[in-house]
Chains A and B, each alone.
Chain A
Amino acid sequence: MLLLGAMVVIASLTGVRAQPIDLAARASLSCEATTRSATRATYACATLDSVFDGAITIVSPSPVAFDADRLPDLLEGTWLFDHGADERIEVVLDLSSPSASSGAVARLYDGRTDLAGAEDCCTRDDLRALDATVSVRAPDGWRNADGSWSTDLVIDVDGPVEVIFGGSAKLSGDLATDGHVDYTIEVTDLDDDGRPEYDVRRAHVPDAVARRIFRSGQAIERSAITVNPHHDEERIRSWIPWPFLGPVTYGFLTNSDLADNYPPIQIDWEAGRIVTVGEFVRSRGNDGQWFVYSFDELGSGATPNELEFESPFAFYDLFDADIELPELAVRMTYTSPGSPTLYAGGYPYPVSGVRYSWIQRQQDRFRQYKVGLLDRYPQDDVVQVGPYALRAFAPYATLPVWVTQRSWTGATFVAEMRPQDTPRGLGEGLNAWDVDTFSRSAFFSHVLGLGASAKDATAGADEIPEGLRGEYRLGMTAEPMLYRSPIDDELHLLHAGGGVWSQGQGDVMTYGNLNGDAYIDVWTLLERRPASAYGSATSLDEGADGALPAARERLYQLPGHLVRWDAGGLAIKRVATRHETLRAPPPATSLTWSALAERLADGDRAPARTTAPMFDRFEGDQALLRGATLLDATHLGSERGYAFLVELASIPAVSAPWLPLPLEGGRYVFGLAADGATWQVEPYRAGTLHARLETSAPTRLEPTRARLVASSDGPWPTKAHATLVVGDQPVRRWDPLEIPAAGRPATERAFTWAPLASGLQDVTLVDDDGVVLARLGTIVVAEAAPGPDRSDVASAVLPRPGAFVALLAAAVLLLAVGVNRAVGRRAS
């Protein structure tokens, strides 16, 4: 049963819909009295699905007229639940009203093996001697003035009960029903209508326990706050006359698939345990609420609480107020400056991360998108939840605008590529390529300036779950902005450096930005990869020879042209294309959401899985070079345009006056001017590598700075796996060393190096097979000066040896005396 509950939770979190539990059947209880007296009655009761099937005994402190087939509305007395009618009481509910001032109190006891059977159990004094697992106090009584159930409640939980999501698993072994309150829940109904607005939970975890769990690599959520600003929480459906205890074990979350609000105190009847005190205010099951889960303790003082972790996680209704599914989920993660959870407290800045997921209507279908954002914004605002002041990025209502109208240093974008016919629950949104996990956190490290290189930061850019497309933006700080490309009619992240779409069955399309501007301009359908290759760290940005990765198709969007290559050949089409057909930030309001939906409806079509439909949808003058092979492509700069290295198997039979084609087969460089006006085709010739080593006064064993300068007189940039060798010493290997085409600035690689041998040394650049790529002349390495002596170190470490020598001398003297006397005594 717990497993089932966990599955529902997991399903709700991942957005996967599990087979729903028939909660209505479970909540319907039919009872029939078996014994009745003035103060005690026992009923045989069962839910429709027999999750509870047993005896309920009610003991009243004063005479009551018990009905034969209906449980009494008794709120002063003791309820004994005996699932299975086996004379073993699983749960005891003791309801009382000690005084008018203290309100009404319910105490729940579970897992007791020391209680007598229902016949003799239990006097109130018996129960008061025990520690209650859950105590519910309603300061103003159980009922509101309008007759609804009061949800102004204070609840103490003492024992291994799930109160904060995931908490009991982490605290396994630390929680027991021992008289020490482990959790406190404060439920607040501001307008006394039975629909609570706040659910504030605090875990009272000893510091030593929290430290231990932290050391094991986890952290305990000590605070959980859920707020319903729309005042529209569902009223709890009651099962027995006291509404907060239910037969349904749906788990901790009242998730978005369960609109009905079932009683939150949940029992595992087979085990006889209270397993969960669920949410009184739904954290996810509504479309207008927000919550905070934090590792920090919540204080009620004047100083606002700075709460780390999910702070907040907010859900919004952007479409169709009649259904309770949120269309927008904004998960803000916050780490305070110097937080121990980040680099052991060594990072002195705040870290703010965003998962901004929304469901977007496109014509009559729905797709989910996500923008992941990362920067160092502090929480400058303050919001009030009852007596608790919380630091916040922005109030709930304006948070989406705050996110989308702000510049962020790191950004990712993820799109569902399989539209849905009906909107699904968001769950917690798309978690793929979250900014803190994308590329195994190197992205995070790079964006925050913590050392990871840009190359490392995108090393995971080929790994994304099937059906999703991801793009990343690095190297600039800007507002999150999307545009729609006319080539594939898809939304893309403006200024994306690249991306990938895992289509399934081994088909992968990658996205490139050849000229480094704001737009995707290369679509590559890769050679089909075996399914087992999914998730591997195989890099897509280089093939085995350092050139382009193996591909089936490529499509380039160039000034005034589309260029497409596949096994059939190379097609060049003169077309007038734009870079974008719309530009918009992620929607933050119903208005912008609807506007985007409207603009997307125009020309929306199913995502193209290959490049042919993208190419074919544009009309233009076309040259098809059959059998041509595209070997490489490069951007030569904003003035020189683009170049393609093409292998022509034969003389192409095309008539395109704007394309000056050669008269024989071979390898050619096709150059397109920067303005797209003209093509130039010239035969490819291998260039000669020119390289030199710049260094000054190298000395054996002394690190020295040096610089390799490499250029070529060939028309095409090349790459080589090159190793610099000085004498016999391999000094450095570049994998690859990029050598520019003639006329381009030479490649310069600075490095530090310590020569191993002195004297005249030959310098060469060789490939991995030892073939000399270039001879760089000779250098003279001077002999090293003698190094420090051990005695130098010893004298530095032991500058004043007096005490040491004196004590050792004392030991020696004493030893000599002792030995002398010990041996001498034998003589005497």
Chain B
Amino acid sequence: MIPLGPATHRALLLVVAVALAYGLATSLRYPSPWAEADTSYFARSISATIDTGTLQEPANPHIYPQGFVYQSWASALLTITGVDVPSYLRVLSPLLGVLFLGVAGLATFIRLMGSVASAVLATLTLFLIPELMFAVLRGNHEKVTLSATLIAALAVLTVIRARERSLPTAGWWSVFLMATASAVGANAYFGSLLTIALAIVLAAVASIGATNRGLAVDLRPLYRPLTQAVALGALVSIAVFFVLYPPAGSLLRVVPVALTGLTSLIEGLLNGTFSAAAAPYAVVDRDWASLAIYRLLSAVRWLLFATSFGVWIAFSLQSVRHRSLRTPDRVLALALYGAFGLLLAFAIPFDLLDIDLGSNLQVRMYAYFAMFSTPVFALGVTRLYDLLGDDARRRLVTRAVTVLFPVLLVAGHLKAVNDPLVSNVWRFYERNEVQAVRFYLEHQPDRLRTMWVGPDRRLREGFYATYPDDAIELLRFDPSGLQNPLAINLRSGADTTSEFALDTANVRAHIALLDSAPLAEAMLGTIVYDNGASVIRHVSSEAASER
């Protein structure tokens, strides 16, 4: 059902090559490893799954409540290959993430756009979007949910095409079921997004079909497969939520909270009394040393958004006014873009209301929206190209795009992994630093004392990701309510409550680079551990006794 000629082979080769180069560049960006919150969480979850051989609490002390597929898959992969968890997360995981996205994107976009060249353009555009690339580079489930979402969309599109030609569809329905189950099983919420988007598409298509009977394309053949896809997707979600993985059912607790919040938001907006419970956009000020550079590196987001939205509006209006849409694929490309755009818009009030569905829902949702915006973006570019009359102009556009894309790729890559140059959120760490953390946790006198490890979570996450087994073991008596023995102190630098402090060149530099931050007082405490590069200091016992 997908054209498998030489053009497709060449396109696949190209996408794989770009993905490998991109992924390896990320893996080798530093000689030292890096980690962030989700990566370290899944390091522990995968490790616990391998160790216990189960996904169920309490035998498994570190489950991921929103899903089970990624850690099962990763633990199986690592058990078979013998690769250890930190190496997988540092080297293999970014590579696999980019490869999955590239290959799934190419296959889906060929089906969606009907042209290998356009699909290549759309697929390569994926690599320009830093938010999307970061999602698949880091060590969490999103490489599975995003690529499985694309494959499930591919299956629906192929079913629709097969039905037009009276070809059998059972195989592709199986693909749809497996891909949807993988996505939902990896993350019950984000994995269900395609089903919700397809429901929106179905509603839109049905209403357009009912009210605009003069369309050039007959939308009725879409009704049945879309309805079936929505029904199957919903069944899969229900099965995961309530039967296969009941911990994911805890996500549903957010529903009444969201409804209450949305009601109050609407009332507040109507009364003029609304005030946001959170400031989701403020993190940019906190996390970036230079807003100008941040905006520059984020340019592709707005370029993509503006272009794709313009194209979407233009094509949609055109289709209504001039009935120019001639294929169901084109209808679906536009409809999926609109549906994911609507879902992204819904994320805004969630973030303003500070409803917990992952930290900063808009950022998480943007990855899914961006994925379905690249075909629309590519449609716009090719359409523009078609509209240009002479070859000279077309060559000019070709050259411009040939230059612009690499520039945007470098900018996007820098945005995803630029620390410590511009971002204040550092992700790199060095072995000697996490060794010191490990030593502290192994020798901590009791849970009443903490060690300050710097102004952000860098070394906490680094330790978790490097020593996932130890992290579970050493922090096993860490029920909520007890403080984390590794204290962090955003921006203020000086921690006055910890009895120990980690003193490394990177920690000192990090504090010094943050505004108005004095060095931690504890940094002149007695050295109680020294591994040659990282030092643990103990605050004077006199100061401790004064508290």
* A406 proximal to B (CB < 8 A): no
Can you list, as one digit per residue, whether each of B14-58 has a CB less than 8 Å from chain A (1) or not (0)? 110110011011001111100000000000000000011100001
Can you list, as one digit per residue, whether each of A443-467 has a CB less than 8 Å from chain B (1) or not (0)? 0010000111111100000000000
Known: A216-B61, A822-B117, A826-B117. A814 touches B448 (CB 8 A): no
Is the pair B28, A827 in contact by a Cβ cutoff of 8 Å? Answer: no
- Could you say which of B28, B51, B402, B420 contacts A807, with CB atoms under 8 Å apart? B28
How far is it, in angstroms, between the C-alpha of A347 and the C-alpha of B445 when the chains are bound? 9
Interface residues on B, range: 35 or more
* B381 proximal to A (CB < 8 A): yes
Known: A445-B445, A450-B446. A797 touches B124 (CB 8 A): no
How far is it, in angstroms, between the C-alpha of A31 and the C-alpha of B42 when the chains are bound? 65
* B480 proximal to A (CB < 8 A): no
Is the pair A343, B445 in contact by a Cβ cutoff of 8 Å? Answer: yes
Is the pair B391, A445 in contact by a Cβ cutoff of 8 Å? Answer: no
Is the pair B58, A216 in contact by a Cβ cutoff of 8 Å? Answer: yes
Known: A344-B474, A814-B18, A823-B121. A799 touches B410 (CB 8 A): no
Chain A residues whose C-beta falls within 8 Å of the C-beta of B28 in the assembled complex: 803-804, 807
- Could you say which of B124, B395, B428 contacts A822, with CB atoms under 8 Å apart? B124
Q: Among A511-519, A548-556, A699-707, which stretch is in contact with chain B?
A: A699-707
Q: How distant is A261 from chain B, measured CB to nearest CB, in Å?
A: 38
How far is it, in angstroms, between the C-alpha of A811 and the C-alpha of B99 when the chains are bound? 13
Q: How distant is B419 from chain A, measured CB to nearest CB, in Å?
A: 8
* A817 proximal to B (CB < 8 A): yes
**Is the contact region of chain A dominated by helix, strand, or loop, or is it mixed?**
helix
Q: How distant is B15 from chain A, measured CB to nearest CB, in Å?
A: 8
* A117 proximal to B (CB < 8 A): no
Chain B residues whose C-beta falls within 8 Å of the C-beta of A217 in the assembled complex: 476-477
Q: How distant is A808 from chain B, measured CB to nearest CB, in Å?
A: 4
Q: How distant is B5 from chain A, measured CB to nearest CB, in Å?
A: 13
Is the pair A788, B509 in contact by a Cβ cutoff of 8 Å? Answer: yes
Chain B residues whose C-beta falls within 8 Å of the C-beta of A790 in the assembled complex: 289, 420-422, 513
Chain A residues whose C-beta falls within 8 Å of the C-beta of B406 in the assembled complex: 812-813, 815-816
Q: Among A143-151, A360-368, A417-425, A746-754, which stretch is in contact with chain B?
A: A746-754
Q: How distant is A250 from chain B, measured CB to nearest CB, in Å?
A: 31
Name B446-505 residues within 8 Å CB distance of A.
Answer: 446, 448-449, 472-474, 476-477, 494, 499, 505
Is the pair A344, B21 in contact by a Cβ cutoff of 8 Å? Answer: no
Is the pair A455, B545 in contact by a Cβ cutoff of 8 Å? Answer: yes
Q: How distant is B449 from chain A, measured CB to nearest CB, in Å?
A: 6
Is the pair B513, A788 in contact by a Cβ cutoff of 8 Å? Answer: yes
Known: A217-B476, A810-B21. A450 touches B445 (CB 8 A): yes
Is the pair B59, A212 in contact by a Cβ cutoff of 8 Å? Answer: yes
Chain A residues whose C-beta falls within 8 Å of the C-beta of B15 in the assembled complex: 818
Q: Among B154-162, B172-180, B279-287, B515-523, which stretch is in contact with chain A?
A: B515-523
Is the pair B58, A754 in contact by a Cβ cutoff of 8 Å? Answer: no
Is the pair A453, B518 in contact by a Cβ cutoff of 8 Å? Answer: no
Chain A residues whose C-beta falls within 8 Å of the C-beta of B21 in the assembled complex: 807-808, 810-811, 814
How far is it, in angstroms, between the C-alpha of A819 and the C-alpha of B18 when the chains are bound? 11
Is the pair B540, A750 in contact by a Cβ cutoff of 8 Å? Answer: yes
Is the pair A451, B509 in contact by a Cβ cutoff of 8 Å? Answer: no
* B382 proximal to A (CB < 8 A): yes
Can you list, as one digit per residue, whether each of A782-801 has a CB less than 8 Å from chain B (1) or not (0)? 00000110111110111110
* A346 proximal to B (CB < 8 A): yes
**Smallest CB gap from B510: residue in A:** A793
Is the pair B405, A816 in contact by a Cβ cutoff of 8 Å? Answer: yes
Chain B residues whose C-beta falls within 8 Å of the C-beta of A787 in the assembled complex: 509, 512-513
Chain B residues whose C-beta falls within 8 Å of the C-beta of A814 in the assembled complex: 14, 17-18, 21
Q: Among B69-77, B238-246, B436-444, which stretch is in contact with chain A?
A: B436-444
Q: How distant is A660 from chain B, measured CB to nearest CB, in Å?
A: 39
* A208 proximal to B (CB < 8 A): yes
Is the pair B22, A811 in contact by a Cβ cutoff of 8 Å? Answer: yes
* B209 proximal to A (CB < 8 A): no
How far is it, in angstroms, between the C-alpha of A474 and the C-alpha of B543 when the chains are bound? 20
Is the pair B445, A807 in contact by a Cβ cutoff of 8 Å? Answer: no
How far is it, in angstroms, between the C-alpha of A441 and the C-alpha of B59 when the chains are bound? 28
How far is it, in angstroms, between the C-alpha of A561 and the C-alpha of B313 when the chains are bound? 99
Chain B residues whose C-beta falls within 8 Å of the C-beta of A826 in the assembled complex: 117-118, 382, 385-386
**Smallest CB gap from A440: residue in B:** B448
Can you list, as one digit per residue, whether each of B241-263 has a CB less than 8 Å from chain A (1) or not (0)? 00000000000000000000000
- Could you say which of A212, A452, A822, A823 contacts B445, with CB atoms under 8 Å apart? A452
Chain B residues whose C-beta falls within 8 Å of the C-beta of A571 in the assembled complex: none
Can you list, as one digit per residue, whether each of A208-220 has a CB less than 8 Å from chain B (1) or not (0)? 1001100111000
Is the pair B443, A343 in contact by a Cβ cutoff of 8 Å? Answer: yes
Is the pair B476, A797 in contact by a Cβ cutoff of 8 Å? Answer: no
* A824 proximal to B (CB < 8 A): yes
Chain B residues whose C-beta falls within 8 Å of the C-beta of A347 in the assembled complex: 443
Is the pair A815, B446 in contact by a Cβ cutoff of 8 Å? Answer: no
**Smallest CB gap from B476: residue in A:** A215
Is the pair A703, B448 in contact by a Cβ cutoff of 8 Å? Answer: no
* B361 proximal to A (CB < 8 A): no
How far is it, in angstroms, between the C-alpha of A754 and the C-alpha of B382 when the chains are bound? 61
Q: How distant is A367 from chain B, measured CB to nearest CB, in Å?
A: 34
How far is it, in angstroms, between the C-alpha of A732 and the C-alpha of B540 when the chains are bound? 14
Q: How distant is A795 from chain B, measured CB to nearest CB, in Å?
A: 10
Is the pair A754, B521 in contact by a Cβ cutoff of 8 Å? Answer: yes
**Smallest CB gap from B405: residue in A:** A819
Q: How distant is A207 from chain B, measured CB to nearest CB, in Å?
A: 11
Q: A822-B117, A827-B395 are in contact. List 9 more A-B contacts (CB 8 A).
A: A212-B58, A216-B476, A344-B442, A705-B524, A797-B506, A812-B406, A815-B409, A819-B124, A822-B124
Q: Nearest 3 A-B pairs (CB), nearest first? A: A787-B512, A451-B445, A811-B21
Instruction: Name 30 interchain pairs, CB-CB below 8 A, sorted by A.
Output: A215-B473, A343-B444, A346-B444, A441-B446, A445-B445, A450-B446, A453-B545, A701-B518, A701-B519, A702-B519, A703-B524, A705-B524, A732-B546, A735-B546, A749-B542, A751-B543, A756-B518, A787-B512, A788-B508, A791-B421, A797-B428, A803-B28, A807-B22, A807-B25, A811-B409, A811-B413, A816-B406, A819-B401, A820-B402, A822-B117
